[in-house]
Structure formats: structure tokens, C-alpha cells
Amino acid sequence: MPLLEVDRVSKRFGGLRAVSGASFSIGEKEIVFLVGPNGAGKTTLFNLITGFIHPDEGRIRFAGTDVTLITPNRAARLGIGRTFQIVKPLGSLTVLENVMLGAFLHTASRARAAHDAREVLAYLRMEAVAAATARDLPLAMLKRLEIARALATRPKLILLDEVVSGLSTAEAMALAALLQKLPERGVAAVGGVEHVMRVVVSIANRVVVLDHGAQIAEGEPHDVVRMPAVVEAYLGAKFRERHL
Ligand SMILES: Nc1ncnc2c1ncn2[C@@H]1O[C@H](COP(=O)(O)OP(=O)(O)O)[C@@H](O)[C@H]1O
Ligand SMILES: [Mg+2]
């Protein structure tokens, strides 16, 4: 049984089909990236999986439970963690305190939450900024803080919305190296990225390509980026030369 099953899910906003019959599944400890240009429906899919919005058609199952009409709070309790495309830490709190907010999902003990938060910060190589005020962090660390907050909830699955966008290639590579270890922590991941960034796609077991809310390709990263349909849809020959 897959950990997550998205089964013919569609979502319309007025006349706009944001997601159109998306079907894919994620196995335990698997890393999958959704690739698609701005507006392809990636964030909408993440909002559907985490119960912020509900589909017009289709079903979503997580660890054997139907979560199609779930609430965000219940999704988090079941083990679905997420980051937001627009980073929104509590700016006046320290990095450690922000991450503790995630840990409070599974413990009421302040000491336990601090302990768990420190462990996550160590994993993400953020010990040095634990006491810094969140609003003072550079973007690369803010993106990691989003991931740390989500990991502190102890998810089985984490949805990473554009966690590498805005980062330099070196920053993205460093982050990808950390994300690659998520399966060792027992965490599966679904990432969303606008471009086929080699560094990110290289850590994925599979890639799902979306275009205008519909899935146009799925497969191993190496194969997918060479599929004519994918290249034609939006990558373009120039893009391919530059990034692949
Ligand atoms: N709450 C909403 N109301 C209306 N339209 C929306 C809403 N959320 C997303 N959309 C539209 O749905 C489409 C898919 O958006 P989105 O899922 O954010 O794409 P991506 O994350 O791949 O850039 C876009 O055309 C976007 O404008
Ligand atoms: Mg988005």
C-alpha cells in the first residue's frame, strides 16, 4: 500500500482548472518532485493533500485512510507535514522557538519540544542560528527553518513547496544533500519546483510533470527530462541546454 495516493483529483477555481485529474502515489521513504511552471497547480495540489482546500473530484488516501475531506489540523496529526511557498516564520521568535512550535504537535512538554527541535536543527545544520531571531535570517536559512518546523511535527510525509526557489545553485545543492537523507529519518517527501533543477531532480526517485493542471509525464528523473512531450510543453531547447 502506498503512503499517499492521489487518485484522479481535480480542482476548479471558477472557470479555471487548477488541477485536472492528477493521479500519482508516493511510497514510504520515497522522494518525488512535481515539476511545472508557475500556475501548473503544484501549490493547489499541496493545499488539497493537506486539507486546506478540498477537491471537486477524486480521492486522496494517506496510510490507508481516506483524507479527501480532512482538515489541515487532522492532516498534520496523521503525519502530513508541509512548508509554505511564501515563508512565514514568527519573526519575533528565535529559530529554536519557531521549531518548537512544530514539536508541540506531539508533546506538551517544553523540555521535550526543545530537545526535539534541537535535534531537527542539528540535522538541517542550523545549530549556529538556533538563538537568532527568525526575521534576521537570510533566505536560505528561512527556507530551512520552514523545513525544520515541518519536520519537528514528525511527519511521515513532508510536502516541500518551492524550497529551492530563490536560492543560489550552491545553496540549492547544499539543501538537496540534506533532503536526500529524509528517507533515513523515515520521511517521504514530495517537492514542488518550477524548473527542472538538476540538483533537486537528482535526489528524486520519481518526477511528475504538470502542465496547466494536468499531468503530462511521470518517471525517473533522467528519462522524464528527455521526453519530447516534456521538452515541448515548456522546457524548450534553450532551457534544456542551460539546465540539463
Ligand atoms: N484560491 C485560488 N483562487 C483562484 N485561483 C487560484 C487559487 N489558488 C490557485 N489559483 C490558480 O490556480 C492555478 C494553479 O496555481 P498554483 O497551484 O498556485 O500553481 P503553482 O504552485 O504550480 O505555481 C493558477 O492559475 C492560480 O492562479
Ligand atoms: Mg506554487
Q: Give all domains of the chain, ordered by start, each with its CATH number.
A: 4-87+155-243 (3.40.50.300)
Residues with CB under 5 A from ligand 2 (ion): 42-43, 85
User: Is the confidence at residue 241, as pLDDT, over 80?
Assistant: no
Cα gap 223→127, rounded to integer Å: 38
Atom 11 of ligand 1: nearest residue by CA position: 18
* Dihedral class, residue 86 (left if φ above 0, else alpha if ψ from -120 to 50, else beta): beta
pLDDT > 90: percent of the chain: 70
Q: Quick one: pLDDT at residue 88?
A: 74
**Ligand nearest to the backbone CA of 165:** 2
35-44, 87-96, 114-123, 173-182: least confidently modelled range: 87-96
- Give the integer Cα–Cα distance in Å for 242 and 244: 6
Residues in the chain, overall count? 244
Q: How far is the CA of 91 from the centre of ligand 1 (A)?
A: 26
**How many Å apart are CA 217 and CA 49, to the nearest integer?**
20
Place of cell 489540523: 73
Q: Per-residue pLDDT for 228 more than 90?
A: no
Which tops the pLDDT comparison, 230 or 209?
209
Residue type at 123 in one-letter notation: Y
Mean pLDDT of the region 40-46: 94
Q: Whose CA is nearest to atom 7 of ligand 1?
A: 13
Instruction: Give the range with max mean pLDDT: 83-92, 124-133, 157-166, 208-217.
Output: 124-133
pTM of the model: 0.91
Query: Taking a C-beta distance cutoff of 8 angstroms, is the pair 34, 9 a contact?
Result: no
Furthest CA-CA distance within the chain: 55
> Reduced to 3 states, what is the DSSP secondary structure of residue 205?
coil
More confident: 242 or 2: 2
Asked whether residue 230 carries a pLDDT value surpassing 90, the answer given is: no
pLDDT of residue 53: 98
